[in-house]
Structure 1
Amino acid sequence: MSANVNSRFNRDYIVELLKALLATPSPSGFCMEIMKLIREETSKLGYELEMTPKGNAIITIPGTTGVAGDGAEKVIALTAHVDTLGAMVRSVKPNGMLRFTPVGSYAMHTVEGEYCLVHTREGKTYEGTVLSTKPSVHVHSDMRELKREEANMEIRIDELVHTKEDAEKLGISPGDFVSWDPRTRIVPNGWIKSRHLDDKASVAALFGLMEWMKREGKSPVHTVKVILSTYEEVGHGSSYIPPEITELIAVDMGAIGDDLTTTEMDVSICAKDSSGPYDYEMTSKLIELAKREKIAYAIDIYPHYGSDASAALRGGSNIRAALVGPGVHASHGMERTHIEAIVNTAVLLSAYIIDQGECTNE
């Protein structure tokens, strides 16, 4: 990336906001605290934010051709999700251990040994650790062979708990949310490794875009609505979007591996996922803009993937849709990306929504 673009987008702002996002627990359906952070940051930038009944945030950025309702023929939405994988307490065992049920889709072995927080309905928080029901090689001869599935996993609470009654006295009960320790590391050479980069890296890219626009006094050609959803990991994040939206770009992580070409340095442009092909013209335009901006990008097909654009289309929205985002390795596990991919995602989106020629690397 050229020094010109580096000066346009504030990397320090993007990284610091990403750290704050990653440090705020937000499993799907438990996004109250992170939405407070989103409101505060949006207010600092001077944009308008409204909340939908189910907890999504919509930030409106008026375009130079008029705002929605004032004659604008096109309204573009950029959507990313603040919700993450997590769990809920399914039951309290007789020995005080907690059986849990997943929130979102992940393999159980990816959370074994992970530190976590249990969030009670009374507002209390307790630390814990995810273990198998046979956690020690010194005790269990079949520990290695035990299948890592829900029935064989549990949470050990870091409190003096020996019975079900002990745990219940703490206020812990079925339905309490569990969040994973993100274990965030920002490496000086630009690597960022953490849980929940899917999709908080994309949220940081969107705020980096908005911060640049506000600082430089830029406006999109058409009104833009930034939608930050809270139920994407369970399939219905942006299933409802405002009816005036005509184009929607889901900003979500790019998968890496197998025959896919995306890397952690790239902006992923997804042509098709499990919901079917994305809009041909929008995808083609994004590819051409990536070429024009000299952005490292890759075009891929994700057979085991769905996005907020998928949810909007399945929800009946009469829109064109596309999908882009930073490449993320080991998705739904111990994830990693690079600041280049996050910043370049913001660059590509700026090129899409701002007047042609405004965001060139040349």
Structure 2
Amino acid sequence: MNTYPNVTETKDLIKQLVSIPSPSGNTFKVIQFVEEYLKDLSVETKRNRKGGLMATIPGANNKEHRMLTAHVDTLGAMVKEVKSNGRLRLDLIGGFRYNSIEGEYCEIHTSAGDVLTGTILLHQTSVHVYKDAGEAKRDQTNMEVRIDAKVENAEDVRALGIEVGDFVSFDPRVQLTANGFIKSRHLDDKASVGILLQLMKRIKEEDVTLPHTTHFLISNNEEIGYGGNSNITPETVEYLAVDMGAMGDGQSTDEYTVSICVKDASGPYHYGLRRHLVQIAELNEIGYKLDIYPYYGSDASAAIRSGHDIIHGLVGPGIDSSHAFERTHETSLIHTENLLYHYLHSKIIAY
């Protein structure tokens, strides 16, 4: 296997990315961060009207293009109600469960640009007061945000500038361990974004010409289903989503290899592209696992649903505990980056 050039740098970059709040619908700051990073590399970028970012590296063949995509939007919430007790009721953004955010620190982002901190708690948290603290359902009715301010009623809360529709982001709690793990919220999909940024840096530093003009879409609405379904050039033949591999019972994906998805809730991915990716992995001694994600969709499947005539695929690092307290290992980052690197240096498959 080829040596990954900057795995420490990649992990540090992922740490920076997950530390920038970016729930779907409020991704301006993280897109700006990516835009500045690519500007320093002299990579051409353009924002789309949805707020996503397209980066382009010209290749030898400008008639048949490739597109890779990863998303910077994350799970999060909005203020659904300012409650009479001075706390906030939430409405979730993205597909996850309230139990995965119980006890989590959060930030409330007001429309005026202020940021207030708080904690997401069950209303009946105190076992000294509530007999049903253990059995109460973790849902929109019972979960609330305790704001770190002296508030006793809805009027006090509104005086802080908090209102219905304000975004709420979750503390990522990112940690890099000495033995190579990175654990954090929002590795879905900021781990992949970090990999793509490092990949573009590697291509620019090596001053190589790719066989095909290649676009990198940093999408910002994937968690709500439509991040990567537009801005696909007519010349695009292959469209590869780079997103997390989901782990669990019955899955083959792990934290130490690159996951190649063969099918998800949208149906099978392109068989020819899948075989091409496997051949690249085996030729270059890249550790990989083939897998099916039964409750999953990607920007590539969104692109297919929107009617684009493309060859679509999905690969990514293996992520444990997806949409909760996520974790992966640097070896998964290594294998994913190397697969993508060699893929970009290959020719588009015959179809």
- Please give the TM-score of this superposition, normalised by the length of structure 1: 0.94
Of Structure 1 and Structure 2, the greater strand share is in: 2
Cα shift readout 1:190-222 (whole Å, capped 9, x = no counterpart): 100000000000001111111111111122110
Name the SS of the counterpart of 1:5 in structure 2.
Answer: coil
Root mean square deviation, CA, Å: 1.0
Cα shift readout 1:111-160 (whole Å, capped 9, x = no counterpart): 00000000000000000000011011111001101011111110000011
Partner of 2:337: 346
Write the letter of the residue equivalent to 1:5.
T
User: Aligned partners of 1:199, 1:221: CA distance in 2, in Å?
Assistant: 27
| Superposed counterparts of 1:42-61, under 5 Å | 42-61=38-57
1:284 equivalent in alignment to 2:282: no
In structure 2, which of residues 147, 155, 163 is the aligned counterpart of residue 165 of structure 1? 155
Write the letter of the residue equivalent to 1:104.
G
| Superposed counterparts of 1:8-27, under 5 Å | 9-27=5-23
Aligned length: 346
User: Aligned partners of 2:210, 2:127: CA distance in 1, in Å?
Assistant: 59
| Superposed counterparts of 1:191-340, under 5 Å | 191-244=181-234, 245-340=236-331
Aligned residues of 1:243 and 1:317 also touching (Cα < 8 A): no
Name the SS of the counterpart of 1:43 in structure 2.
Answer: helix
Q: 1:355 Cα shift?
A: 4.4
User: Aligned partners of 2:271, 2:342: CA distance in 1, in Å?
Assistant: 18
Q: 1:37 Cα shift?
A: 0.2
User: Aligned partners of 2:178, 2:200: CA distance in 1, in Å?
Assistant: 25
User: Aligned partners of 2:39, 2:300: CA distance in 1, in Å?
Assistant: 26
In structure 2, which of residues 68, 74, 86 is the aligned counterpart of residue 78 of structure 1? 68
Partner of 2:31: 35
User: Aligned partners of 2:284, 2:3: CA distance in 1, in Å?
Assistant: 9
Name the SS of the counterpart of 1:160 in structure 2.
Answer: coil
List alignment gaps of at least 5 residues for structure 2.
none
Partner of 1:107: 97
Write the letter of the residue equivalent to 2:138.
R
User: Aligned partners of 1:175, 1:313: CA distance in 2, in Å?
Assistant: 31
Partner of 1:5: 3
In terms of mean alpha carbon deviation, does 138-147 or 212-221 score higher? Answer: 212-221
Aligned residues of 1:10 and 1:212 also touching (Cα < 8 A): no
- Please give the TM-score of this superposition, normalised by the length of structure 2: 0.97
User: Aligned partners of 2:110, 2:96: CA distance in 1, in Å?
Assistant: 23
